[in-house]
Amino acid sequence: MSRSAIAILSTENLLHNLSVIQSQAPASQIIAMVKANAYGHGLRSVSTRLDKRVYSLGVASSDEAIALRRAGVDGPITLMEGIFEQDELLIASCEKFQVIFHDWWQIEALKTLDLPSPLYVWLKIDTGMGRLGFNPSEAIKAYEELLKNPHVLKPIGILSHLACADEVDHSLNQKQIKSFEDFARNLPGLKSFCNSAGIINFPSHHYDIVRPGMSLYGVSPIKELIAKDLNLKPVMTLQTRLIAVRKVSTGSSLGYGSQFVCPKDMHIGVIAIGYGDGYPRTTKAGAPILVNNIRCRVVGRVSMDMTTIDLENCPDAKAGDPVILWGNNLPIEQVADYTSHCPYDLLCAIQNRVRFHWTKK
């Protein structure tokens, strides 16, 4: 038999979260972020469920976009990091991918090609994130270069990205908003600015398109809140089973490094999941975990395939009983507090030996 580590993924919760986001930004359309294997939830599985329910699907590369076309997704797909090689422009033209332009070499690459059909393009402005995009001082020149290219559909979309959207009072937010509005205010075409946290914290700046990521998967993008506070539901419930239940004497140590020494006689459970599955090795003693829906705690160092837990709160637990590491009734945000990771990291780290099971389409 296979190991019992399994991720249960809820179609119902995914669509519920989409509905919540639509209610938060009722005048905007949505580019749903499915990059990085849909934040660990499965690129194809998530995308086929969202196809045609959103304006576009956002991916990090043409490889991800091509995989979606092969999976039967025929709605719009946006290359959020643009192209990495010139030949990708031809692929984008043939497959009708939307392309973000953020650097001069991409514009120059477009000039030398004869494409079979024109591209829908976005111009990315760096208003303060400091990663990709044209500085506002040079952005108008880039905009004009794209505008006069015969392979570019008009009007051109304009977007930027908030660096501190989860900190509503951070001074950079207003600087970025002003920079974006100063550039885009009088230009035609779709405009996009807000990620998940921006959708919540800056409702006056949703513009035409919002780009949710974490909130789509049922995780709060705001540090002080959990998903339930925002009417979001976890799409992923990571679970396993107890494979052993042991009585351990006072003074005995658990796991590698003997980091946890039992202060008294203890009822200890061993579960079939570890950092080889994506449950982080940095998880601290005390991290919450559910056994038979009763909150227990992790004790001892997480190993590659196993983790030990304190069963004091669930003394009748036995081998084979279900264990939830995060998801239904256990917010991933609370688990992340006991690790060196944020919820993004936890979800994206799930390995392929964890079996995925989706509820209905």
How far is CA 223 from each of CA 143, 197, 262, 276, 325, rounded to the nearest angstrom?
Answer: 36, 10, 33, 27, 20
Reference 121, options 73, 180, 189, 62; nearest CA is: 189
Residue type, 145: E
Q: Residue 330 gets which letter from DSSP?
A: B
Tokens, residue 29? 């359309």
Q: Residue 35 catalytic?
A: yes
Active-site residue, 223 included:
no
Q: Which of 35, 124, 191, 233 does the annotation list as catalytic?
A: 35
CA distance 206 to 26: 9
Q: Of 111, 141, 256, 318, which one is the catalytic site residue?
A: 256
Three-state secondary structure string covering 27-74: CCEEEEECHHHHHHCCHHHHHHHHCCCCCEEEECCHHHHHHHHHCCCC
Q: Which of 22, 66, 71 is nearest to 48 (CA)?
A: 71
| Residues with a known catalytic role | 35, 256
